Amino acid sequence: MIINPELEAAREASRILALPKALEVNAFAHGQAELIKIKVGQESTLCDTSVMSIGKKTKDTLICAVERGGEVHIPSGSFVIKENDLVSFVVPRRRAKATLSALGLKTGQVHDCMIIGGGKASYYLARQLLDMGVSVKIIERDKKRCEELTVLLPDAVIINGDGTNEDLLREEGIEYAESFVPLTGMDEENILLTLYAKQAGKAKAITKVNRIGFKSVLESMDLGSVIYPKYITSEAIIAYVRAKKNSMGSNIETLYHMYDSNVEAIEFRVGINSPVAGKPLRDLNLKRDLLIAFINRNGLILIPSGSDEIHAGDTVMIVTTHSGFNDIGDILER
């Protein structure tokens, strides 16, 4: 198994910048489905609305988890969303913008991005953003690295200067930037730069943090979206190890931890011998605090009802407050 933490962090950042109102965007089913996390504001149509009512308004969308006051809920249909809730929902990628629009949130991707630092993560992110049609400006201290980036990224604007200098940032238009991503390699600089950017303008900010020891402190600060490469790496490793422990019934394809590791979102590939295959979902004796979020059948994302069945060869995403599932059969009460 090979994983590139800087590349994975850049991919996550580019997904968020494509949907700037999202705090997190995680990909499943080889990118065909997305798990999107948002904070519910006053302007959102989610406010004071039940999960059942939201499901009727937004096609192909399922609310999977809600955090309120530090407590995480796997919501039932009668659960009512409140202002300041952190809500995660799954949606086919092609429907993501339409869903956010229906919820009263801005849906268009950013048009420009200012990146501080010219390291590997900056290069990966810039390359992806340019492919999306986003204008990119990179500010890098080292002149030699600037010359390299000019060759590697001919369509980007490369500025040789100190990205932590307030005067330079204003000169380069930080007040008008639509998005801002500090990737200096130093957590302290990244955090201070994000706080400054939010004070100076209205940019969508993404903060990359390498150390994970002060996560609770960072969550109390207004840093926008925060990306932890170490978490991305560890989750890929955990999914790989758990897949090696599986029975013949399934295999783990994708795994993410959510809400400070209180919730797991796992995508299983269903085998021929799986105990969940060929039965209507309503007939499965599922554990509590668990939700079947979607069924991926040959690239078609199905938000399931009780009458739907899981077939061998499908991938199935479940969201649960339980931990340590290695096999799709673990969702059943024994």
The tens digit of pLDDT for each residue in 154-170 reads 999 999 999 999 999 99
Question: How far is the C-alpha of 185 from the C-alpha of 168, rounded, in Å?
Answer: 19
% of the chain exceeding 90 in pLDDT: 58
Report the pLDDT value the prediction gives residue 122, as an integer from 0 to 100.
97
Strand order in the sheet with 315-320: 250-258, 263-270, 315-320, 290-297, 300-302
Give the model confidence (pLDDT) of 56-83 as tens digits: 777 788 999 999 988 999 998 899 999 9
DSSP 218-244: HHTS--SEEE-HHHHHHHHHHHHHHHH
Q: What is the pLDDT of residue 207?
A: 92
232-331 has the same fold as 18-102 = yes
Superfamily, domain 232-331: Regulator of K+ conductance, C-terminal domain (3.30.70.1450)
Q: Give residue limits of the domains in the chain.
A: 18-102, 112-227, 232-331
Specify the 3-state DSSP secondary structure of 24: strand
pLDDT tens-place string over residues 200-245: 999 999 999 988 777 667 777 878 789 989 888 888 888 888 777 6
H/E run at residue 27: strand 24-28
Given 3.40.109.10, 3.40.50.720, 3.90.1300.10, 3.40.50.11260, which CATH number is that of 112-227?
A: 3.40.50.720
pLDDT band at 46; cut points 50, 70, 90: confident
What pairing do the DSSP bridges indicate for beta strands 179-182 and 157-160?
unpaired
The average confidence (pLDDT) of the chain is: 89
**pLDDT, position 79:** 93
Architecture of the 18-102 domain: 2-Layer Sandwich (3.30)
